[in-house]
Amino acid sequence: MARLWASGPLWDVDPADAAAARDQCVEELAALVALVCARHGEPVVHDLAEALERSAMGLPVPPPLELLSALVPRVYAWPDDGRWIAVGAGRPEFGQPCQVVGVIAEGPLPGGG
């Protein structure tokens, strides 16, 4: 897993600057999704709420979904020769940076496909 883009910390910034950082995070993710779509086609959008709930209950969650679900609410994923590529934008806690993350993992694509 890699952090592909991140804002700075948001705890001491003007609310308008924090909103602008969140907007930029959405824009960075959209640009990255468009770039990967150009090569791999349309993504499978995989909601990670179930993985987050299972993890919180101590139930097994396959890697890297356990870590991803703690960082982003959903991923945009593409199959790639026995592995999958996924990107998502983080939901920052108060004051934490907004971030876009990416992962390449072995195995079946989350959400089917």
pLDDT of 103:
96
Low-confidence ranges of the chain (pLDDT < 70): 91-94, 111-113
- Residue 112 has what pLDDT? 60
Residue 113: predicted pLDDT: 52
In 3D space, the residue among 75, 80, 24 whose CA is nearest the CA of residue 48 turns out to be 75
- Report residue 30: phi and psi, to 5°: -60, -40
CA distance 12 to 2: 26
Position 15 scores a pLDDT of 87
Maximum alpha-carbon separation in the chain: 45
Q: Which residue has the tokens 């496909």?
A: 113
What pLDDT does residue 111 have?
65
